[in-house]
Amino acid sequence: MPSVAIVYFSAQGHTHQLAEAVAEGAKGIAGTTVELIRLVGTDIAEGRWKNDAAVAKLAAADAIVFGTPTYMGGYSAQMKAFIDGCAGVWFQQGWKDKIAAAFTHSMGLSGDKLNTLQSLLVNAMQHGMVWVGLGLLAEGTGPEHANRIGAYLGAMAQTDGNQTEVNPGDRKTCVHLGKRVAEAAARWKR
Ligand SMILES: Cc1cc2nc3c(=O)[nH]c(=O)nc-3n(C[C@H](O)[C@H](O)[C@H](O)COP(=O)(O)O)c2cc1C
């Protein structure tokens, strides 16, 4: 059965909640194993990210889901350091043919999150991965509605500055993404 790794950065915990939702969705597919890998600033020295244990976990996964807050219209510096730190993996095409997907969180309803997902897509394509989009129509635009932001490249979530919990609809969107990734990885493995 497939293994799914979720690699993400979260400063204030919202993206972390979404990563847990992706994990919940993936675990909903019987037999799927899930690794949550939270990027931490202490793994970055002089701008270079290094964590051999995390790299080994990613090498063992059938699918990698990338998660990051949107900062200044793109992925966070911590995600960028991780991506650059995996350039050696790229050189070996170590992630080739793994399933890839992504989610992002920001404070603005748009917040230019599309650019974050597109940048993560480009990284996945450089690695020769197989991208899985959201595949879910918007239920509506309320906080309780799945895919309320109407994104298709991946999962987008938004939380107001004073909210500690992510919106239930965004949580649902990420559960859906995790399930879809695990299903795709199982099919791809067969
Ligand atoms: C440096 C910085 C840049 C940010 N840039 C954006 C932005 O471009 N668009 C937006 O909507 N929110 C922006 N925000 C808000 C973050 O997206 C929000 O704090 C983050 O998603 C919270 O996620 P977390 O709780 O997982 O850390 C920014 C926040 C910081 C600290």
Structural contact between residues 190 and 141, judged by C-beta atoms closer than 8 angstroms? no
What structural domains does the chain harbor? 3-189 (3.40.50.360)
Residue 140 near residue 150 (C-beta atoms within 8 A): no
- For residue 68, what are the CA distances in angstroms to 2, 3, 63, 157? 23, 20, 17, 11
Q: What is the pLDDT of residues 47-85, one digit of tens each?
A: 999 999 999 999 999 999 999 999 999 999 999 999 999
Is the CB of 71 within 6 Å of ligand 1? yes
Task: Say yes or no: CB of residue 31 within 6 Å of ligand 1.
Answer: no
pLDDT at residue number 190? 87
106 lines ligand 1 (CB under 6 A): yes
pLDDT along the chain (190 residues), means of 10: 97 98 98 98 97 98 98 98 98 98 98 98 98 98 98 98 97 98 95
CA of 188 to the centre of ligand 1 (A): 34
Residues 6+ positions from 154 with CB-CB distance below 8 Å: 101, 102, 103, 104, 117, 120, 121, 133, 134, 177
pTM higher than 0.95: yes
